[in-house]
Each structure stands twice: as structure tokens, then as C-alpha cells.
Amino acid sequence: MQRPREADIKTNSLYLTRRRLLIMALAIVFLFCVLIGRLFYIQVIDGSALQTKAAEQWYRDLPLKAARGYIYDTKGTVLAESEDVYSIYVRPNAVTDAVAVARVLADTLGLSYDKIYTRITTERVSEITIKKAVDKATGESIKKLGLDGVYFTIDSKRSYPEGNLLAQVIGFTNIDNEGQSGIEGYYNQYLTGVDGFAYTETDIKGVELEDSVTKYVPSIPGCNVTLSIDANIQSFAETAVIDAKQEWQSKSASMIVMDCTTGGIVAAAISPSYDLNDIPRDDITLLNALTKNTLIVDVYEPGSTFKTFTAATALENGLDLGKSYYCKGYHIVDGQRIKCWKYIGHGSQNLADGFKNSCNVVFMNLALSLGTEKLYDGLEAFGFGQKTDVDFYGESSGILMKEENVKTVDLARIGFGQAIAVTPLQMVSAFSAVVNGGILYEPYFVQSIDSYEGKNVYTHQKTEVRRVISEKTSALLREYLGLVVSEGSGKKAQVEGYFVGGKTGVFGLTCVIIAMKKRGIMA
């Protein structure tokens, strides 16, 4: 075998050396690329997150709660406002005299000294919440003492200048100022502002640095909400339901007033009520009973007030106005004797007489003449058996028997307001359509929403749901409703200087729904 030449050996050795050097160079370049990529990821892609983590270690922040927006009535009366209160915190690492801090906080705030002292000296946390919603005077008295490790933030607390006025509609907030019910809950996203923060530089243990400067990110107050409610009319309504409840010794009484030309709710009063500044939070049963807006949530059997809608449907279907019905005190339907409220009977009655005297027999005959399909078409057009879509939580749709399940005797009873259940809001909305020319409007509480700077965010535009009856039918029904007050069972509702129309009904409660007109303007 021929031995390799020395020149060939040198050539191969040089090739291997260069190859190793190239591999090493490539490896070094690769490592540099990895490092550069990692640095790029840390500095650029993940930079914000890491800066946030670093800031959490360098700074301690306290929240600056945003003031909740105000609630006004339609004329600018303040119904709900926010007042400044303090939240008090302790940073254990910054406390120099735990005994003094615990003693002052316990004595001033009415808390347990032992619990506060134990928390300050044993809890391994950077910050302890001692108490929220401390009134301004008490908070400032503690602040003046300059206790090391005790910190304060200004929060806001809900206050209601009118006390129990419109309580079930306005609703209330919790300890964190979040809406829980009523307008406070439904419009919480608008009323709630954006919280700010106060940042203070600290060391790794959370102790504030001597030369640190507190930086503030201001909060943004919530939007202000203006209702369609008129506080003056609401006040009269509140007095009326309280008086009615006392006079009749009833469990409750309520009243709702609506602008029939827009659907705006002008007043909504319920008795018993409660003070919004003294909410019974410790008694859940009582809280639920007093805060429920029964005008929207609860249903009742309307009785004779419902006759108005049977008449409206009959008129729209071409009823002969001259036709008379004979009332002998009852009417037999499917072998059942259904009584009129006047047991000796009304005798011969046309539609106008039936309205004035509230004769059950007249409206039973009207319902039976219409038939289930036509009567139901009319009632559903008025909105019965369905929600009104009012801007409020928990609305009931009422109870309207399924059309296919209605028997003849059921149809007769529905004609004068039995075998059906409605909400007071449904009734006032439907009555508004009866007297305003025949248009059903969507009811509402909130008229407008504005930012804290005064910029309009939302303005309600009246929403026409549908035409229910003709203007001619509406005019005739206004005349009939007027007869009830001028000559019939509603004489006590007369008001000098006004045209007043209404319909009385007695079925577990007395319900009088009145339409007023002065100088030709419906209200």
C-alpha cells in the first residue's frame, strides 16, 4: 500500500481546521442571534408586561374611586348624588407604632383593637383595608394625626336627598357603589365612572421611600341620568298612596302616572316604602318586599277597568252603537250563572250606559259577540300578555290564557276583566293609547344621559309601538270615560277646571285610572 504523501496530510489537516472554525463561527453567530431575539422579545414584545411587573414592585397604589353620576328628575331636582367619604388602609411595613395605630383606628372607627393589632403585626401582605365609606369628618380627624403606615383614599358614597321618594324606581347600590336594583342597576354602566389611582414609590419590602413622590391618575366621574319623573307630581302621588293605604287598611297601595303622548313615566308611587339612605340590608325578606317595584313586576286581575279594552276592540270591529243588552243581574254562559255587580240588574243598557254603570252583562255580551280570535287580536294589540320593554329589570308579561284553551265561559269573564292578569304598567300604557288618539307608546323612565362634562350621550326618542285603535274610536271612548266621572261611579274623581275621564273597578282593590284634559291638551 502506498503511504500518503506529507503534502496531502497537511492539506487535509488545514481543511479540517477551517471546517471546525466555520462550525464554531456559525455556532457563535447562532447564539448571538438567539440572544438578540430574546432581547428583542423582552424589550419589545414583552416589554410592557415586564414594565408593569416592575412597577408593581417599585410602587404601591391606592384606588381613587370615581364619583357615581347623579340622577335627576325631569326638571333638574337631584334624586341621587355622590358625597365624598374615606377608605382607610394600613401598610404593615410602614407602621412604626402598631399599638398606637390599632388604638386610634379602633377607638375612632368603632372596631376591635385586638383584630386590628393582630392584622397589622401578623398578616404578610403589603396592604390591609381597615374600613370603607368612612364619613369625611372622621377620616380627616384620623388623617391629621399623621400615623405612619396609615393611608387614605377619597371614595364616594351614594346619597338620596329626597329620602324615600321614588325608592322602588331609583333602587340602590352596594358598599362598592355598584347599582343593585332599579335605575341604579339598569343604568349602572353609565352611572359608574372610571377609577383612578395614587402611586407611591417604595422599596422591595413595600416601605415608602423618603424622597418618593406620589403620582396621581385622576378618576373620571360617571354620567348623569335625567328621568321622565316629575318630583313634584311624584310627591303628590306618594301622599295619595299613603293616605289610601291608611284609609282602606290595605296591605299596599300604588299609583303610576304616564304622559300619554310619549310613554314617559311621570310618577310611580308605592306604599309601603323605605328610606334610600337607610336600606334594611340586614333583613333580606324585608329588603325584597320593600324594594320590589310592584307596578312592573307584580300582576293582578284588573276587573272592571278592563272593560275599556273590550269596548275598544268591539268598536274597532264595527259594533252597532245603538244595540242594547238586557241586564237582569246575571248572565248564563255554558250553564254557569255569572253575576253582575248589581244583583237586581241594570235593565236595558247600550254601550254608553254599560260604561257609565259598569254593567258586567254588557261586556260579557260584547266579548261573546266578538269571539276569542277578534278579542285576543285587540287585547294583544294593546300589549296585554307581553312585556312593554320598559327600561327596568324584572318586568312581568302578565297572564293571558292561551287562545286555544279559552272556553266560552272564560271569554265572557275576560270581557269584564276576570280570568286575566295584568301589570299596572300595562294598564296605564294601554289606557294612554285609548285616550291619546289610538297610539301605543313604549314606556320609559330615562329621558337623557349626559357625561360629567355635559356632553349628551343618549336622549330618548318616543317609540311608537303600533296604532291600536282609530282616532274616531279614541274620541268616543274619551266621551264614555268622561260619563263615568260626570254621571257614573267615578264622581269623586272630578276636578274643577279639568275634563276628567276614568274607569272604576273593585276586585280585591279599588283602581281608578284617570285621563285629564285642560284647554284641549291631553296629559
Q: Say if residues 278 and 236 touch (Cβ distance below 8 Å).
A: no
The per-type count for the chain, helices as H runs and strands as E runs, is 17, 21
Residues 6+ apart with CB under 8 A from 412: 331, 333, 338, 364, 367, 368
Name the pTM for this structure: 0.81
Q: Which three cell numbers stand for residue 112?
A: 376591635
Among residues 109, 72, 75, the alpha carbon closest in space to that of 89 is found at 109
Q: How far apart are CA 362 and CA 350, in angstroms?
A: 8
Provide the H-helix boundaries in 41-81: 47-58
Q: Please give the pLDDT value at position 19.
A: 74
Question: What is the separation, in whole angstroms, between the first and last Cα of the chain?
Answer: 124
Q: Say if residues 171 and 90 touch (Cβ distance below 8 Å).
A: no
Q: Please give the pLDDT value at position 11.
A: 64
228 flagged as catalytic = no
User: Which entry of 156, 273, 304, 429 is annotated as an active-site residue?
Assistant: 304
User: 10-residue block means of pLDDT along the chain (523 residues)?
Assistant: 57 70 80 79 67 56 81 97 88 88 92 91 84 88 89 85 95 90 96 81 54 70 96 95 92 93 96 94 91 95 93 91 90 94 93 91 96 97 97 96 95 95 95 94 98 95 96 94 86 81 64 45 40
Q: How far apart are CA 397 and CA 415, in angstroms?
A: 19
Using DSSP bridges, classify how beta strands 150-159 and 78-90 pair: parallel, antiparallel or unpaired.
Answer: antiparallel
Q: Please give the pLDDT value at position 151.
A: 84
At residue 231, the 3 state secondary structure works out as: helix
Q: Please give the pLDDT value at position 47.
A: 63
Q: Please give the pLDDT value at position 26.
A: 80
Using DSSP bridges, classify how beta strands 215-217 and 196-201 pair: parallel, antiparallel or unpaired.
Answer: antiparallel
At residue 358, the 3 state secondary structure works out as: coil
Q: Please give the pLDDT value at position 54.
A: 55
